[in-house]
Amino acid sequence: MKPQIVFQGEPGAYSELAAFEYFGSGISPLPCASFEDAFAAVADGTARYGLLPIENSLAGSIHRNYDLLLESDLSIVGEYHLRVSHCLMALPGTTLSDVHQVHSHPQALAQCKHRLRQMGVEAIVEADTAGSARMIKERGDTTAAALASKRAADVYQLQILQESMEDNPANYTRFLALTAQTTQEHTKGDFKTSIVFSLQNQPGALFKALSVFALRDIDLTKIESRPIQGKPWEYMFYIDFAGHADSQSGRRALDHLEELAAYLRVLGSYPRHRIV
């Protein structure tokens, strides 16, 4: 039986493309309407893994998933950077000059703004990229195109009129692979660890917290702060650092941080994925 991998979105979504690229073609992808549903499907064992977007190089962090990581008991076991390339797709036979309207998610439309302006087409906002492709197919609309992943063109049998429609090619989305059961095998190699913690609201508190890494020459790859619900202007800090939580320096840094933090949780250690 193929392992079930849950993602948020419709068939053909960028998240589904990322799941195939990360886990390989031998998976059974399971679409889910919301991030909440995707987390729940992993937690209740419906899916072995979830692959959820956490950050885009242009748009920034996907905060809802930071909050859901905190609320759930799931662990991070991997990461993947997907190169986001928006394809313009339409019904077979439709040519570029036939296209008067382009449907997509607001973010995809914004990322292709200059190209769409050059084409002189009307941008129409839809709930998601893959759904826009499905709609073109269902309506049989030959005057419209969708901006979506190349996988969406396969799924909905549309023809790609143009690839790489995005204005800025440095467009990557970082995905996290999540699971309910973790079995750690080894701690050496090129690992990354994600943690979340809160601090007492005192001058220098964050400086002291970061010292536990700096004093051990541990590289931070990401820092993010999120308001704590119900406590205006108090923050949870999400940090990614280079190395494994169970390595000697990783363990010592986390023990040290535990002395300072009001709350601390290790979300997972996982092999680092570098953009080539």
Q: Please name the residues in contact with 193: beta carbons below 8 A apart, sequence gap of 6 or more.
A: 240, 241, 243, 244, 245, 250, 266, 268, 269, 270
Residues in Cβ contact with 36 at an 8 Å cutoff, skipping those fewer than 6 apart: 68
Give the footprint of a second copy on residues 41-70 (CB under 8 A): 55-60, 63
- Least Å distance between CB 211 and a second copy? 6
Q: Is 207 a catalytic residue?
A: no
Is the CB of 60 or the CB of 92 nearer to a second copy?
60
Assess 120 for contact with a second copy (CB under 8 A). Answer: no
* Coil, helix or strand at residue 92: coil
Give per-residue burial for 255-276: e unless 16+ CB within 10 Å, then b.
ebbeebbeebebbbbbeebeee
175 is catalytic: yes
Taking the complex as a whole, the smallest distance from the CB of residue 70 to a second copy amounts, in Å, to 13
Q: Does residue 218 bind a second copy (CB under 8 A)?
A: yes
Minimum gap (Å) between residue 217 Cβ and a second copy:
6
- In 3-state terms the chain splits into helix, strand, coil percentages (rounded to 5) of 30, 35, 35
**Among 208, 204, 205, 236, CA closest to 223:** 236
| H helix or E strand, kind and range, residue 193 | strand 191-199
Q: Is 32:41 a contact under the CB 8 Å cutoff?
A: yes
C-alpha closest to that of 273 among 196, 173, 149:
173
Footprint (CB under 8 A) of a second copy, residues 149-168: 168
Q: Does 225 bind a second copy (CB under 8 A)?
A: yes
220 lines the binding site for a second copy (CB under 8 A): yes
Stretch that binds a second copy, among 86-94, 184-192, 209-217, 259-267 (CB under 8 A): 209-217
Residue 164 near residue 86, CB atoms below 8 Å: yes
Site for a second copy contains 217 (CB under 8 A):
yes
Interface residue with a second copy among 44, 92, 183, 233 (CB under 8 A) is 233
The residue among 98 and 224 lying less far from a second copy, judged by its C-beta, is 224
Which member of 23, 39, 175, 237 is catalytic? 175
Q: Which residues are catalytic?
A: 173, 175
List contacts with a second copy (CB under 8 A): 55-60, 63, 81, 168, 170, 172, 203-204, 206-208, 210-211, 213-214, 217-227, 229-233, 275
